[in-house]
């Protein structure tokens, strides 16, 4: 079904605002964070107005309502990615914390000096730094699947690395710079053939693709609410039950315990074992409202619309003299267009575009090694979501010509 983008845009109040330069906002930075529909904002507002109380502890009306709303959101998030059970959904602050949870709990219990962890050259820092830290602490080995010149993973290199029998493979489902959608199911299958555990960074994929963690057979899958129309400050880690049950707790404190004595404690059952302290209750409720909204629109419809916009954007951007695009063709990527402009720093590009109300990202996008791979310090990045239009792409292109004229 073709999206009615005009109607969808009405769901996002921020798209009606003017920027400080007095022009209508053109928001092309959803890879960093998406905008939020009114239904998400209202769900969180309703919670604070009507049901605000701590969860799992009280027996009064508000506490029971809060708990029901919080856990109902977990149920819907589980269904959204086709988890087998809501117990497999651990609330975290974001994708970064989800990856760190695996690194601190599963990896520190299972990896020893000399064990190999396979990553890729296109990883976000969130899927690099935790493993660097573990390498310094434990002496594990890290190796990397190379990225080709056209921005895809070299699977022959991957197969060669797998012959060394890694204990863990961790990779991004979709690159936040190149937009590359990696063949996750194939990569997971190959890893499992050598008995490796697989962690997938789904921060960019869950908002834009229909993700089925059971079909993928992922051992762990991490994602964030704020990139998928939900609030900031909350994310999720999906894990297979047998792995999560065997893992030690990540943080200690309230709610993650079943029993505490002066000299010992017993951890709670899943998922609460990994959720110490008062959680982000309103944000969890907003997260649930976000998956409701995405489900109503339809992930296949969102993906099809983004593909159409991205294909159009790449065609238009390729027309601009001196502009170099990074990443594969539109059929192999999500709604991302990263580029450089000859002789002009990406920060200058972004600042001049902002004068016309066009919001893009500029920098290394928390992927410094990838930029070093291509011999550049930074890129400009326009990213697209269900609420973006071809007219906004035209505004971007016209704005880039204005940048070129300014630096002529």
Active site residue 229: no
3-state secondary structure of 338: strand
Label residues 234-273 b or e (16+ Cβ within 10 Å = b).
bbbbbbbeebbeebebbeeeebbbeeeeeeeeebbebbbb
Contact 154, 203 (CB under 8 A): no
Contact 336, 314 (CB under 8 A): no
DSSP conformation letters of 218-249 = -SEEEEESTTTTS-SS-EEEEE-HHHHHHSPP
Catalytic site residue from 32, 366, 376, 397? 366
Q: What is the DSSP letter of 377?
A: S
Contact 86, 74 (CB under 8 A): yes
Segment 6-15 long-range contacts (CB within 8 Å, at least 24 positions apart): 8/297, 8/386, 8/387, 9/387, 11/37, 11/38, 11/39, 11/293, 11/387, 12/36, 12/37, 12/38, 12/387, 13/38, 13/41, 15/387
Neighbours of 333 (CB within 10 A): 24
Q: Structure tokens of 145?
A: 């699947």
Can you tell me the distance from the alpha carbon of 220 to that of 402, in angstroms, rounded to the nearest whole number?
Answer: 45
Q: How many residues does the chain have?
A: 408
Tell me which residues are annotated as active site. 366
């Amino acid at each position: 079904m073709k999206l009615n983008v005009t109607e969808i845009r009405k769901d996002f109040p921020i798209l009606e605002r003017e920027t400080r330069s007095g022009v209508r906002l053109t928001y092309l930075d959803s890879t960093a964070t998406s905008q939020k529909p009114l239904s998400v904002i209202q769900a969180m507002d309703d919670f604070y107005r009507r049901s605000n109380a701590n969860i799992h502890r009280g027996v009064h009306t508000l506490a029971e309502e809060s708990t029901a709303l919080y856990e109902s959101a977990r149920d819907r998030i589980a269904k959204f990615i086709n988890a087998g059970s809501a117990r497999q959904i651990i609330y975290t602050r974001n994708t970064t914390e989800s990856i760190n949870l695996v690194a601190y709990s599963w990896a520190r219990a299972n990896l020893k000096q000399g064990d190999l962890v396979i990553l890729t050259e296109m990883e976000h820092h969130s899927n690099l730094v935790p493993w660097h830290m573990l390498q310094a602490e434990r002496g594990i080995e890290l190796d990397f699947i190379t990225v080709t010149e056209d921005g895809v993973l070299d699977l022959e290199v991957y197969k060669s690395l797998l012959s060394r029998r890694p204990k863990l493979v961790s990779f991004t489902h979709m690159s936040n710079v190149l937009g590359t959608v990696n063949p996750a199911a194939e990569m997971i299958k190959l890893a499992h053939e050598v008995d490796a555990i697989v962690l997938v960074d789904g921060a960019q994929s869950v908002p834009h693709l229909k993700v089925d963690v059971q079909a993928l057979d992922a051992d762990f899958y991490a994602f964030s609410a704020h990139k998928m129309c939900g609030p900031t400050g909350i994310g999720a880690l999906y894990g297979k039950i047998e792995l999560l049950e065997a893992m030690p707790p990540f943080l200690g404190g309230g709610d993650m315990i079943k029993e505490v004595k002066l000299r010992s404690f017993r951890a709670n059952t899943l998922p609460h074992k990994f959720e110490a302290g008062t959680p982000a209750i309103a944000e969890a409720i907003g997260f649930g409202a976000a998956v409701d909204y995405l489900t109503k629109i339809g992930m296949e419809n969102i993906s099809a619309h983004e593909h159409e916009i991205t294909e159009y954007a790449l065609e238009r951007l390729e027309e601009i003299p001196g502009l170099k695009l990074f990443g594969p063709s539109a059929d192999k990527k999500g709604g991302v267009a990263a580029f450089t402009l000859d002789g002009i720093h990406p920060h200058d590009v972004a600042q001049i575009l902002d004068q016309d109300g066009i919001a893009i990202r500029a920098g290394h996008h928390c992927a410094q090694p990838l930029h070093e791979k291509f011999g550049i310090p930074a890129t400009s990045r326009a990213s697209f979501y269900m609420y973006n239009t071809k007219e906004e792409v035209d505004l971007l292109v016209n704005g880039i010509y204005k940048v070129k004229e300014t630096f002529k």
